[in-house]
Amino acid sequence: MSGDPILSVRDLHVRFALASGEVHAVRGVDLDVQAGETVAIVGESGSGKSQTAMAAMGLLASNGKAAGRILYRGEDLLKLGPRRLDRIRGDRITMIFQEPMTSLDPLYRIGRQIAEPMIHHRGLGARAARARAIELLRLVRMPHPERRIDAYPHELSGGQRQRVMIAMALANDPDILIADEPTTALDVTIQAQILELLKDLQARLGMAIVFITHDLGIVRRFADRVCVMRAGEVVETGRVEPIFADPKAAYTKMLLAAEPTGRKNPVPPGAPILLEARNLAVSFHIPAGWFGRSAFELKAVDRVTLALRQGQTIGIVGESGSGKSTLGRALLRLMESEGTIRFEGRDLRSIDLRRNPEIRRELQIVFQDPYGSLSPRLTVGQIVTEGLLVHEPGLSRAERDRRAIAALEEVRLDPAMRDRYPHEFSGGQRQRIAIARTMILKPRVVVLDEPTSALDRSVQKEIVDLLRELQRVHDLSYLFISHDLAVVRALADDVIVMRNGRVVEHGPADDIFEHPRDGYTRALLSAAFGGWAGGEEPEMRSDVSTAMDL
Amino acid sequence: MLRYVLRRMGSAVPTLFIIITVSFFLMRIAPGGPFNLERPLEAKVMENLNRIYNLDKPLWQQYLLYLRNLARGDLGPSFVYRDFSVGDLFANGLPVSIQIGAAALLLALLVGTALGAFAALRQNSPLDYLVVGVATFGITIPPFVVAPILSLVFGVMLGWLPAGGWGNGALANKVLPVITLALPQIAIVARLIRGATIEALRSDHVRTARAYGLPTRVVVVVHALRAAVLPVVSYLGPAAAALLTGSIVVETIFGIPGIGRYFVQAALNRDYTLVMGTVVVVSIFVVLFNLLVDLLYAVLDPRVRYD
């Protein structure tokens, strides 16, 4: 440690006044940031890591109050009036946010938005600010900065928007850049590029970075020091290597162990094929005119062939827009497609599933969003048994209740909670409810569409374990759709890597993870596991940038 | 953009055609006719009238005749105001209704936006509740209550303004009708702006603007209010069409020679051509203002582009 810290947080408390009482979100946090270093604040949702940063920036919600001290070069940010604070934020301390899609004003060109803080803090004229904005866009490696400066945010991809945010953050040469989960909303290959960019800019410009994240992989690759938070408190802090090598706090150990582990038992060689697709294709017609003239055809799924055996899990991996979710839906006949789909040898496309509900019952799906996919106006018991009303209308109320209890027990939820409503449950519990709703129908094939993506790592691990257990007990076949390679590795027998609707690689999970052949698969793997999961340095950096045509 | 405008104009033609057709036959299904008066006319007179106005021809011929005249811009003669053609009636009344309606709309936008933004910036304070309360009141009180009260207080009791009449379009005569028409619109605009501003102030990009130390004035006016205006713009289309084509209540109570009165009078009198004329004029206004609003929306929000 050298010299005085540039930012020091002392005994910070953040409280929110709610109708139901007070929430004490941050409880006595101490934190020091030295000039030029990278400090990671790591924790799961609700740990208070973001609110710590929001308090420093004066951005707490109107019902939030911060107490304690946040000293920037000796000045207490919490005591500054709005004008004095406005002189520091956006100039000496800047911030980038988790939501690249919404953090820029949709109504103004990005050039104007990058220029605004410069005009404001540095008194630059419009022309000078524009020239500097172009320079900054070049610095954050935006392609064609002279043209892109006049783009609106919606004309840019998520990664590009985050680059614009970074350009804005660097405009006034800040001392500290606070990055609040800046890559969480981005695909893994884009995430790797943004992280690399931040690292490079820090080396060149010398600002300190406070990096807020839930992702330990990023911490390990990126930070000098780490501060682990849980329930508003710092549980462990120190240099990154010793903490990763020898964590002291039980919670840190748990976080480090929360990476999904274990492998699925292989399928017996003679297992019958349940679901089979040949040259499955889904295309969307993007209309140009009012009268349905088709401007062009988007091939969301382009001639995919696969065969799912009883008890097998096929992992479908790809980034957003790769067509993996569309494939899952088309396989279950939830959307129209071309090609053949066979379920137990019968041509699924020629069967009217409304007339044959018993087939529908055997093909089920679990969705990504545990918040949006449960009706808020039904009790958990009603949600779980809703499918039975359709598929076994003759059941008595008592019998349905008995099944609900069994289903909830099977997903390790207390059946006594079946009279409550979804909003009373956490994300992980809701996903268990969604799984119980599926399992009560005794399906044979389940499409799992990113069921763990919205969850914290430690909760993910539990859901992965649960899914494996259910599969073993009921001999289920899974189609597991995910962008999260660590989870896929823990669950899948076979892996299909998709990109732009096409299969780029298909094979047994071990082969794909150990010896990826395709360049894009390699880029995905190195971006996801970086230098730490497999213990090897990412070697595919150049490949990452060529693989993604930004 | 020009192509879009032309296409929208083009698609308005079948819309108008359907509206005209449906109204034409609906009107004829209604019992009675323009010459069924309380004291029945002599059969010979009736026959002559029917012949002059082509009412003796089969309905489909009358319909085709109407369409042919309409295509030439001829709305036909009024059956009840015998000395005027429907075109004359509108030429006299429409400018009056438009003047009153446009003034009311402008007033509503200015005052409503100011009140809404004022309330949003003081969300959940007594002043906010006051604005919301008054706005709700403004929406619930119907104009046929507001109009006589205003007329009574400012016209009769205080004597500041004329209690009614058009006075050849003197400014003083327009004040009370404009206010009566504007009041509920002010309330609606204020509520829309308030809600949208509150939402915009909580949005991520406003948080960004604050995080970058921009002054409150810039944050509110540049980044929050522009977004908040968008829902009002959508509301503006139907509102403008309704206001500019006059209001039966306001025109009747204040004795203003606009076209609002024709809606009801023409229908009651079975003045077939006047009813059809009103339908045509109002439809054109609705189509036109919805198009204008869509274009304005595209100017304000770059995410919306018509190509």
Measure A423 CA to nearest chain B CA, in Å. 22
Would you state the pLDDT for residue A545?
37
Would you state the pLDDT for residue A533?
36
Burial class (CB in 10 A: 0-12, 13-18, 19+), B195: middle
Of A359-368, A527-536, B190-199, least confident by mean pLDDT is A527-536
Partner-chain contact A59 B211, CB within 8 Å: yes
Integer Cα distance of A132 and A118 in angstroms: 9
A57 touches chain B (CB under 8 A): yes
Phi, psi of B75 (to 5 degrees): -85, 0
Nearest Cα residue in chain B from A55? B211
Of A290-294, A471-475, B159-163, least confident by mean pLDDT is A290-294
A91-108 per-position pLDDT tens digit: 999 999 988 888 999 999
Q: Which chain B residues are within 8 Å of A105, Cβ to Cβ?
A: 205-206, 208-209, 223, 227
B223 touches chain A (CB under 8 A): yes
Residues 275-304 of chain B whose Cβ lies under 8 A from any Cβ of chain A = 300-303
The reported pTM is: 0.78
Phi, psi of A135 (to 5 degrees): -60, -45
Evaluate whether A180 touches A100 at the Cβ level (below 8 Å): no
Q: What angle do CA A216, A217, A223 make, to 5 degrees?
A: 80
Task: Tell me the pLDDT of chain B averaged across its residues.
Answer: 87
- List A67's β-bridge partners, or say none: A13
Q: Which chain B residues are within 8 Å of A89, Cβ to Cβ?
A: 210-213
Of A142-151, A370-379, A523-532, least confident by mean pLDDT is A523-532
Measure A455 CA to nearest chain B CA, in Å. 22
Residues 146-205 of chain B whose Cβ lies under 8 A from any Cβ of chain A = 203-205
Integer Cα distance of A292 and A307 in angstroms: 36
Residues 83-112 of chain A whose Cβ lies under 8 A from any Cβ of chain B = 85-91, 94-95, 97, 99, 102-109
Partner-chain contact A120 B205, CB within 8 Å: no
pLDDT band at A543 (very low <50, low <70, confident <90, very high): very low
Integer Cα distance of A532 and A544 in angstroms: 17
Evaluate whether A274 touches A364 at the Cβ level (below 8 Å): no
Nearest Cα residue in chain A from B206? A105
Partner-chain contact A90 B301, CB within 8 Å: no
Would you state the pLDDT for residue B212?
93
Partner-chain contact B301 A120, CB within 8 Å: no
CA atoms within 13 A on the CB side of A90: 27
Q: Which chain B residues are within 8 Å of A82, Cβ to Cβ?
A: 216
Partner-chain contact B214 A89, CB within 8 Å: no
Out of A108, A109, A121, the one facing B213 most closely (by C-beta) is A121
A60 touches chain B (CB under 8 A): no
B22-79 per-position pLDDT tens digit: 999 988 888 877 777 767 778 888 888 888 888 888 888 889 988 898 888 888 888 8
pLDDT band at A363 (very low <50, low <70, confident <90, very high): very high
Partner-chain contact A165 B300, CB within 8 Å: no
Partner-chain contact A154 B300, CB within 8 Å: no
A59 touches chain B (CB under 8 A): yes
Q: Which chain B residues are within 8 Å of A185, Cβ to Cβ?
A: none
Partner-chain contact B226 A86, CB within 8 Å: no
Measure B42 CA to nearest chain A CA, in Å. 55
